[in-house]
Structures are given as structure tokens and as C-alpha cells.
């Protein structure tokens, strides 16, 4: 199957300039690339590349982050590199960056500078702690923000200290929110013709992502604490032992609690005076969780899943990541699609979770993540540079 011609998608025709590093910015750009935007990723020449927390380009992480993009290696600090950047900006709809404020201004990438070149431009910026304020110049990485947002304080077992989540959740959350902001700005521009500056940060994304745990503090003054695998407010809702593994069970409402007891023959639990109402179950949550665990240990994982779900009691196994991707429902949803790489062959990457009835997911990603500078010549030619000019720029070290 040829993938040389992209399938028309909702963002086809929009040009995006990706100046980001690390994970949060590329996550935002990936959303646009997956839905058809023509993304040019500008990267430093190899001699100036200081490496990335996401590893090497042909590794799994960067393949998953940078699929469907094209790459141009450009030294932005050279005069010719700056001129190329201006041409890229003039033809772009969106510029995405995560530079410090002083670097942004020095490179001519503040919103005020960009809109002089392109009045319809949308500048999308992402940072650790915001574009201004006392921490705006601090470097921001996922684990630092997990701690400073309070997320680590509610993750893990009580009394064992803060625990980070097993994924880069503040990076990917901020990237998702920036992607949504870009789409809002594009929609506004389609109606008004006006560009604007969209920005978010890892700390803003994570404070929003705290959701009900954050609102417990902002509304009621409560400070949530670690509950391990138990839900902070719903009982019983936790991870329980089966005879051959573990399951997550939610039986917190009157209906679900009755269904749990009936499906597993736990009549004594259902009749216990300590568990007759939600409030009573919350008051006795530790003893109730232990009692539920004694019941679930009599069954296998498969038996619990088969008995509880038809009774209206959500129940699911605790998988490792490999098992998650091999699950029957996940296989049905086809959460991966292949991308053809000239060296790696077919690589299976994780598709966008968004489903649009008018735009079914393509069978293949349009192209795998490019090596840095893989499309430099082609992109410069699109900007109007001739072969001799491109050769001269390479000799000067402006491009690679």
C-alpha cells in the first residue's frame, strides 16, 4: 500500500511549524499531524544537538512522538538560518514552541514579532510554569511538576511517601491542552481572520487534571491524602485479590453493592449492619475492603469479571502493558496502526484516541518519524530555494 499521498483529514491544508523539544510540545503537534496538518519540524544540526529526554529518533518513543512530520535541520543562530525561519513563518498557520521568554524574543518568535510577518499566525507556547511570574524562568520537567502540583502526594500507599505516576502525565496533559487550545484558535481565526497567542504550562495542566481532588481543596478546604489503590471517596472501589491475580472492582452505590453480594453469594456482607448505607460503608471502609478481599479470593480473575459485569458491577483485571494491548476489546478497537520506516520496516504506533465518523483512521500512518533533516532539501525547495542556494547554505552550516 502506497502512503505517498496523504488521506484528506480535518486539518489537511494547515501548515504547522514545530520548534519544540522534549515531550509536551511534540505531544501537542502530534495531535495536529495525526489529523492531517502539514508539519515541518525544525531541529538543530547534529553538531548542535544536545540530545533529548525522549531518546534517539529511531527508538520507540520518538517514533511515536514524531510520526507524520517532516524534518528540516536548521541553525537558527546563523543569518541564513534566520532568513529561512522567516520564510517558514510567513507560510505557516501555527508555530509551536517551548523556548524561554528571552530566547523567544532573541529568535524573533514572540507573538508581537510573529504577527508582523504573518498577521494570521497562531503562536502556541508551552512551558513548565507559565509565561510570566516568579517561576517562569525555571526549567520544568514532568517529575518536578508531579511533585509541585500535589499529584505525587495522592499517589501511592499511605505513609510511604510521595510516588510519581508511571507515565509522563504532566507533559502529555499539557500537550493535550495546548493541542485543544490550537484548535480553538484555528476555529476563531476561521470566523474572524485573527491570529492569537495560545499558551499553557505543565503546572496549569496538572492543577486542572487534579479535577475532583483539587476541587475538594478549593471548594471544601479538604487536603486529599494517599489512599493506595482505594478510591478516595467511593467505597468499596479498589484493587482486590483473586485466586490467580488481581482485579479492580467498583461496588459503591446501593445497586452495585447489592449486585456484588448477590453475584458472589456474599449474603452475610449484604446483611451486615455496618454496610447498609453508603455512609456506613465509608465509615467502615478498612474493614469492608478486607471483608470484600476475603470474598474475591475464592474466585479466579476470569470468574470475577464474568460474574460481576453482568450484575452491573464494574470489574476488570489488572494487566501489564503487554496484556493491555493484547486484550480482546483493545484488539477490536485497533489502537495501533503501522508506519513504514525505510530502515526499521513497519513500526506499530499508538493511534489518536479520537474517532470521527466522517474521517475513519487511515490504515497506515502517512509516514514514520523522519530522521533529523531527512526532508531538508525538499522543504527548502518548497520555500523557493534553488539547488545552488541549498548547497551554499549547507557549506555555511546554516542547514543540514
Catalytic site includes residue 171: yes
> Do 14 and 32 touch, CB atoms closer than 8 A?
yes
Are 205 and 251 part of one and the same domain? Answer: no
Give the CATH number for residue 306: 3.30.1540.10
> Which tens digits make up the pLDDT trace of 146-176?
999 999 999 999 999 999 999 999 999 999 9
Range of the domain at 285: 237-318
Residue 50: its pLDDT value, please? 66
In a domain, 113, yes or no: yes
118 and 28 in a common domain: yes
The one catalytic residue in 75, 142, 171, 289 is 171
- Kindly state the cell numbers that stand for 58: 529511531
pLDDT of residue 7: 63
Q: How many residues does the chain have?
A: 400
User: Could you report the per-residue pLDDT of 346-370, keeping only the tens digit for each?
Assistant: 999 999 999 999 999 999 999 999 9
Q: Which three cell numbers stand for residue 32?
A: 495536529
* Domains contained in the chain, number: 2
* Boundary (domain end) residue, out of 257, 283, 318: 318
Quick one: average pLDDT of 13-38?
97
What's residue 55's pLDDT? 78
Q: What percent of the chain shows pLDDT beyond 90?
A: 94
148 within a domain of the structure (yes/no): yes
Q: 52 pLDDT band (50/70/90 cuts)?
A: confident
Going by C-alpha positions, the residue among 367, 336, 378, 379 that lies closest to residue 3 is 367
pLDDT band at 1 (very low <50, low <70, confident <90, very high): very low
Query: Measured between alpha carbons, how far is 177 from 3 in angstroms, rounded to an integer?
Result: 30
Which residue has 527508538 as its cell numbers? 59
Tell whether 255 and 168 lie within a shared domain.
Answer: no
What integer is the mean pLDDT of 191-206?
98
**Residue 79 in domain:** yes
Q: What is the DSSP string of 166-227?
A: SS-HHHHHHHHHHHHHHHHHHHHHHHH---EEEEEEHHHHHHHHTTHHHHHHHHH-------
- Residues 97 and 149 both lie in one domain: yes
- Give yes or no for residue 4 having a pLDDT over 60: no
Query: 190 with 247, same domain?
Result: no
Give Cβ neighbours of residue 63 (< 8 Å, ≥ 6 apart).
Answer: 57, 339, 341, 344, 347, 349, 368, 369
Same domain, 182 and 38: yes
Mean pLDDT of 16-20: 98
Residue 313 lies in a domain: yes
Q: Please report the DSSP string for 337-385 in residue order.
A: EEEEETTTEEEEEEPPS--BTTBPPPSS-SSPPPPTTTTHHHHHHHTT-
Examine the domain organization and report whether 93 and 53 are in the same domain. yes
- CA-based radius of gyration for the chain: 26
φ, ψ at 302 (rounded to 5°): -60, -40
Across 218-225, average pLDDT = 98
Tell me the three cell numbers of residue 318: 489488572
Q: What is the pLDDT of residues 285-313, one digit of tens each?
A: 999 999 999 999 999 999 999 999 999 99
User: Do 302 and 387 share a domain, yes or no?
Assistant: no
Mean pLDDT for the stretch of residues 217-227:
98
Say whether both 275 and 385 belong to one domain.
no
Strands (E) located in the chain: 15-18, 38-43, 69-73, 94-97, 122-127, 196-201, 237-242, 245-250, 315-317, 336-341, 345-350
**Confidence (pLDDT) at 71:** 97
186-194: average pLDDT: 98
Amino acid at each position: 500500500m502506497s502512503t505517498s499521498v496523504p488521506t484528506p483529514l480535518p486539518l489537511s491544508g494547515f501548515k504547522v511549524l514545530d520548534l519544540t523539544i522534549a515531550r509536551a510540545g511534540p505531544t501537542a503537534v502530534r495531535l495536529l499531524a495525526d489529523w492531517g496538518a502539514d508539519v515541518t519540524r525544525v531541529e538543530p544540526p547534529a553538531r548542535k544537538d544536545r540530545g533529548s529526554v525522549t531518546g534517539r529518533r529511531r527508538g520507540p518513543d520518538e517514533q511515536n512522538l514524531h510520526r507524520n512530520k517532516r524534518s528540516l535541520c536548521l541553525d537558527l543562530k546563523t543569518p541564513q538560518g534566520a532568513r529561512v525561519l522567516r520564510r517558514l513563518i510567513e507560510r505557516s498557520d501555527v508555530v509551536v514552541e517551548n523556548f524561554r521568554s528571552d530566547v523567544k524574543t532573541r529568535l524573533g518568535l514572540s507573538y508581537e514579532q510573529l504577527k508582523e510577518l504573518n498577521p494570521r499566525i497562531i503562536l502556541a507556547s508551552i512551558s513548565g510554569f507559565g509565561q510570566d511570574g516568579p517561576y517562569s524562568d525555571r526549567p520544568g520537567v514532568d517529575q518536578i511538576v508531579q511533585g509541585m502540583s500535589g499529584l505525587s502526594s495522592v499517589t501511592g500507599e499511605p505513609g510511604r511517601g510521595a510516588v510519581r505516576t508511571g507515565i509522563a502525565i504532566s507533559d502529555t496533559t499539557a500537550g493535550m491542552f495546548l493541542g485543544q487550545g490550537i484548535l480553538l484558535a484555528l476555529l476563531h481565526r476561521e470566523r474572524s481572520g485573527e491570529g492569537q497567542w495560545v499558551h499553557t504550562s505543565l503546572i496549569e495542566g496538572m492543577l486542572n487534571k487534579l479535577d475532583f481532588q483539587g476541587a475538594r481543596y478549593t471548594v471544601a478546604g479538604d487536603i486529599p491524602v494517599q489512599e493506595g489503590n482505594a478510591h478516595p471517596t467511593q467505597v468499596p472501589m479498589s484493587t482486590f485479590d483473586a485466586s490467580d491475580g488481581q482485579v479492580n472492582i467498583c461496588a459503591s452505590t446501593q445497586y452495585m453493592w447489592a449486585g456484588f453480594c448477590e453475584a458472589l453469594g456474599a449474603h452475610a456482607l449484604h446483611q451486615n449492619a455496618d454496610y447498609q448505607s453508603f455512609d456506613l460503608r465509608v465509615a467502615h471502609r478498612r474493614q469492608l475492603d478486607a471483608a470484600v478481599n476475603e470474598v474475591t479470593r475464592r474466585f479466579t480473575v476470569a470468574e470475577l469479571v464474568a460474574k460481576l459485569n453482568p450484575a452491573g458491577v464494574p470489574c476488570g483485571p489488572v494487566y501489564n502493558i503487554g496484556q493491555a494491548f493484547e486484550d480482546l476489546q483493545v484488539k477490536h478497537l485497533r489502537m495501533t496502526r503501522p508506519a513504514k520506516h525505510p530502515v526499521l520496516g513497519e513500526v506499530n504506533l499508538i493511534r489518536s484516541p479520537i474517532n470521527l465518523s466522517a474521517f475513519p483512521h487511515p490504515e497506515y500512518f502517512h509516514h514514520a518519524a523522519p530522521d533529523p533533516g531527512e526532508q531538508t532539501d525538499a522543504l527548502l525547495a518548497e520555500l523557493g530555494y534553488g539547488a545552488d542556494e541549498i548547497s551554499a547554505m549547507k557549506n555555511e552550516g546554516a542547514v543540514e
